[in-house]
Amino acid sequence: MRAEYGDRLLAQLGKTLSREFGRAFGERNLYFMRQFYLAYPKLNALRTELTWTHYRTLMRLPEERRAFYERMAVTGRWSSRELDKQINSMLYERVALSRQPERTLAAARVRAPVRPRGVDRVRNLGIEQDDY
């Protein structure tokens, strides 16, 4: 009974908020917002380096795994795709079972994206980033 009430409430609230504020407040997004709050009840525990897409992926994980992947994503500057890839490759489990976890982690580290070649050429011309 309570679950049905909650579902109806979320659906109705989503319709009302969508009409007033736009699609971003639909039922589905309200569900994700609620899930986000339950996973991260302390606002100061959030990492500014991570995006909403990162957090949506992390919210599905149990707390211990979530903390591991969160730290790895921040220190490795992982994109959300890289985070998905590492979760699907079961990095957490491989590190936990490894006799040499440092080696397993080192193999999984992903470098930051390479800068486009044209950036250095533009700098050599004396044009700063703010100029273009």
Q: How confident is the model at residue 105 (pLDDT cuts 50, 70, 90)?
A: confident
Q: Is residue 9 one of the residues assigned to a domain?
A: yes
Residue ranges making up the domain that contains 101:
43-112
Residues 27, 79 within the same domain: no
Please tell me whether residues 104 and 50 are part of one structural domain.
yes
Please state, in angstroms and rounded to a whole number, the distance separating the CA atoms of residues 113 and 105.
Answer: 18
**Do 68 and 82 lie in a common domain?**
yes
Q: Is 56 found in the same domain as 18? A: no
Tell whether 17 and 62 lie within a shared domain.
Answer: no
Q: What is the DSSP letter of 115?
A: P
Q: What does the pLDDT look like over 44-93, one tens digit per residue?
A: 878 889 999 999 999 999 999 999 999 999 998 999 999 999 999 999 99
More confident residue, 119 or 58: 58
Q: How far is CA 111 from CA 53, 94, 103, in A?
A: 20, 20, 16
Verify that 34 and 94 share a domain, yes or no. no
Total domains in the fold of the chain? 2
Indicate whether 107 belongs to any domain.
yes
Q: 61 and 98: one domain?
A: yes
Cα 112 to Cα 79: distance, rounded to the nearest angstrom? 9
The phi, psi pair for 50, rounded to 5°, reads: -100, 145
Residues 55 and 108 in one domain: yes
Please state, in angstroms and rounded to a whole number, the distance separating the CA atoms of residues 20 and 29.
15
Same domain, 15 and 62: no
CA distances from 42 to 14, 45, 75 (A): 24, 6, 21
